[in-house]
A = this chain, B = another copy of it.
């Protein structure tokens, strides 16, 4: 077992239960490792596990969502691709967003900077695509923000209602909502 193989498990636990909701015992149980083994891979303990998980999640996001948005394809195609990747990331609305999870709890203060940077990057890259599509810069920025609001809100609602349909509807409508001419 190596650090790389642990990250998907940590990612799953942290986004599901939050930083405070995950104990080392739970991680040990889930990874089938002893606590001491976990400290071998992450000498900094839980905080380092969370840091590593953030980096892991960021890489995935960069290489999947942001990369397609920055590609040379048609703008509408890129937006649909983005939605497909987000649909994977959130398992069709059945898995929460790590960024949203980290806006609450103790980790809030510690990891806030990473969360803020990630959100800002996403908005700005998405807005660039919308500009390229022909929207005025200010509108593009607002639309990008509204897209994040819709994604995050739909995830919360789907989770709260224990029903993935709200998220599925939201993401299905997203490409059209982003590019429509009327406000």
The oligomer's copy count stands at: 2
Residues of B within 8 A of A105 (CB): 17-18, 20-21, 104-105
Q: Chain B nearest CB: distance from A123 CB in Å?
A: 8
Given contacts A20-B20, A20-B105, A104-B17, contact A153 B160 (CB under 8 A): no
Q: How far is the CA of A169 from the CA of B96 in the complex (A)?
A: 25
Given contacts A17-B105, A104-B21, contact A156 B153 (CB under 8 A): yes
Q: Lowest 4 A-B CB distances belong to which pairs?
A: A153-B153, A149-B153, A21-B105, A20-B20
Name A residues whose Cβ lies closer than 8 Å to a Cβ of B: 16-18, 20-21, 96, 99-101, 103-106, 108, 112, 115-116, 119-120, 142, 145, 148-154, 156-157, 159-162, 166, 169-170, 182
